[in-house]
């Protein structure tokens, strides 16, 4: 090959355990399983933030939320940040989007106050061409459904009623049709980003997939626990984040979620077949991940929020046909979505953006084991958008205390809250996140690790350069600067 093709796939709200190759007792995902068998699966892969826009900002820029500061759906992404599309364009590709990126424009780039981009965070990430723009209103899909005899008032109604129509009319099928058609028309190396909505709620799978799983087979969610943090209590009191208390209703939602997982897996099978048919399978890098996870009843919650692992542990699979040595392997080290941009950059021989907080995963793809890899996963959550606007002086920093950061090691999870409080969970003894520990001998090293993590990932956009000798260059490292 000269330059490989690149296919970056995101599945919205896809839990890391919802793979049959990961040993899930219910869900069937033969096509993701096949990709993992022909590539590398990252078993401890984590998103860096929730909900969608924050999670994707970290993925697309390779930076933690504390750097990119996209803290909610509607926070604009600062245009100074490099991203995966801009990187691909520098490498000679025309990166093309199918779906959505949910990144709001930097308002400083807009001169017209009536510009509609100032009223919608569902913008297209800078650098992408658009093969199919499919934001939340879903107008292209709705028009396509109308052409097939199904006139629906809006995208939400169309999603809720997906069980009533054949699966080949699903939103996932619609996106796949456009992606496969586009791939078949390419005559030079290409870069595509396929951003699927499912298995994001509503909990309604398409066609027969809505009836694919028996309610009696649904696994029990992780229990709520007794000593609840205020954030946990608030989420349980919110109808948008509280799981059904009726076990039968929760089982129905679980079955629909797994049906959505299998339905989008089925659509990915169509993509794999198209790549093989068109002779692209052996010259295409495929990366599959998610923007965040899904509680699915764990700790009494649905959707994604708070500090619990189910909201952030996601699937991660990479297949590079040029690196067969590790194909079929499973990596148990902690990997993160901030690793995706540096990984793709490295795989296509493009310089890794200096802003990146993550690391390239290429050693694992070559069957190697880095000796200095991270020992914990990290994620952040900010809930300032739920603060009432009471006219309080913004400089009292009240909103800036509405955030948390989690450090998850093999044995513990340490949660630091913006108001100075903290919690620490013993996951080795109790993986359900109900057993807390307060022993300073355990907690203090974790708190120190959190401080070190923040200190070592401060914004580095210009810190690697040095103004001297008549020009700008990268700052050399010498022992005296250590």
Tens of pLDDT along 153-174? 999 999 999 999 999 999 999 9
The predicted structure's pLDDT at residue 394: 67
**Catalytic residue list:** 52
The predicted structure's pLDDT at residue 474: 66
Q: Is 127 helix (H, G, I), strand (E, B) or coil?
A: coil
Closest by CA to 297, choosing from 245, 237, 229, is 245
Calpha distance 377→39 (Å, rounded): 22
The answer to whether the CB of 336 falls within 8 A of the CB of 364 is no
The answer to whether the CB of 118 falls within 8 A of the CB of 215 is no
* DSSP assignment letter at 191: E
The angle that helices 247-277 and 30-37 make with each other, rounded to 10 degrees, is: 50
User: Residue for token digits 């520098």?
Assistant: 90
Class of domain 5-374: alpha beta
Kindly report the pTM of this predicted structure: 0.96
What angle (nearest 5°) sits at the alpha carbon of residue 21, between those of residues 16 and 26? 75
Calpha distance 396→210 (Å, rounded): 49
CA dihedral in degrees (232, 236, 237, 238; nearest 10)? 100
Calpha distance 44→48 (Å, rounded): 13
In the chain, what is the greatest distance between 2 CA atoms, to the nearest angstrom? Answer: 72
Calpha distance 30→168 (Å, rounded): 18
pLDDT tens-digit series, residues 16-25: 999 999 999 9
Calpha distance 247→264 (Å, rounded): 26
Domain residue ranges of the chain, discontinuous segments joined by +: 5-374, 380-481
Those residues of the chain that have pLDDT short of 50 are: 477-482
The predicted structure's pLDDT at residue 319: 98
* DSSP assignment letter at 469: T
Calpha distance 101→121 (Å, rounded): 9
- CA–chain centroid gap for 186, Å, is 28
Asked if the peptide bond before residue 377 counts as cis, ω within 30 degrees of 0, the response is no
Instruction: List, in sequence order, every residue forming a beta bridge with 415; answer none if it has no partner.
Output: 406, 423
């Amino acid at each position: 090959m000269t330059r490989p093709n690149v296919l970056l796939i995101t599945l919205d709200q896809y839990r890391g355990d919802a793979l049959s190759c990961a040993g899930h007792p219910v869900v069937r995902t033969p096509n993701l399983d096949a990709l993992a068998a022909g590539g590398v699966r990252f078993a401890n892969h984590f998103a860096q933030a929730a909900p969608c826009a924050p999670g994707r900002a970290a993925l697309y820029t390779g930076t933690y939320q504390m750097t990119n500061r996209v803290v909610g759906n509607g926070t604009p992404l600062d245009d100074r940040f490099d991203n995966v599309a801009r990187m691909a364009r520098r490498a000679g590709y025309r990166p093309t989007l199918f779906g959505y990126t949910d990144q709001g424009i930097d308002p400083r780039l807009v001169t017209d106050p009536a510009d509609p981009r100032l009223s919608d965070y569902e913008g297209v990430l800078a650098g992408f061409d658009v093969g199919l723009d499919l934001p939340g209103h879903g107008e292209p899909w709705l028009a396509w459904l109308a052409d097939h005899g199904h006139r629906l008032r809006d995208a939400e109604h169309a999603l809720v009623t997906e069980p009533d129509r054949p699966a080949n009319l699903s939103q996932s099928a619609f996106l796949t049709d456009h992606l496969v058609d586009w791939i078949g028309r390419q005559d030079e190396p290409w870069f595509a980003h396929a951003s699927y909505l499912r298995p994001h709620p509503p909990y309604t799978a398409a066609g027969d997939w809505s009836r694919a799983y028996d309610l009696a087979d649904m696994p029990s969610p992780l229990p709520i626990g007794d000593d609840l943090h205020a954030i946990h209590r608030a989420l349980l009191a919110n109808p948008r984040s509280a799981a059904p208390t009726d076990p039968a209703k929760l089982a129905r939602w679980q079955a629909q979620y797994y049906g959505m997982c299998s339905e989008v897996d089925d659509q990915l099978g169509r993509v794999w077949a198209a790549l093989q048919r068109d002779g692209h399978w052996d010259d295409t890098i495929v990366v599959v991940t998610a923007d965040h996870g899904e509680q699915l009843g764990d700790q009494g919650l649905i959707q994604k929020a708070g500090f619990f692992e189910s909201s952030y542990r996601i699937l991660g699979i990479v297949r590079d046909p040029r690196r067969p040595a590790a194909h079929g392997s499973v990596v148990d080290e902690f990997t993160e979505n901030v690793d995706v941009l540096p990984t793709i950059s490295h795989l296509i021989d493009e310089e890794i953006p200096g802003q990146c907080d993550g690391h390239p995963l290429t050693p694992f793809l070559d069957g190697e084991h880095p000796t200095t890899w991270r020992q914990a996963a990290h994620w952040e959550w900010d809930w300032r958008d739920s603060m009432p606007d009471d006219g309080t002086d913004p400089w009292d920093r009240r909103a800036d205390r509405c955030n948390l950061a989690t450090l998850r090691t093999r044995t513990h999870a340490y949660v630091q809250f913006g108001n100075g409080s903290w919690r620490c969970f013993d996951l080795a003894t109790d993986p359900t996140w109900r057993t807390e520990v307060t022993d300073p001998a355990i907690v203090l090293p974790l708190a120190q690790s959190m401080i070190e993590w923040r200190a070592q990932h401060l914004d580095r956009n210009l810190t690697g350069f040095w103004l001297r000798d008549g020009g700008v260059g990268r700052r050399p490292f010498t022992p005296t600067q250590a």
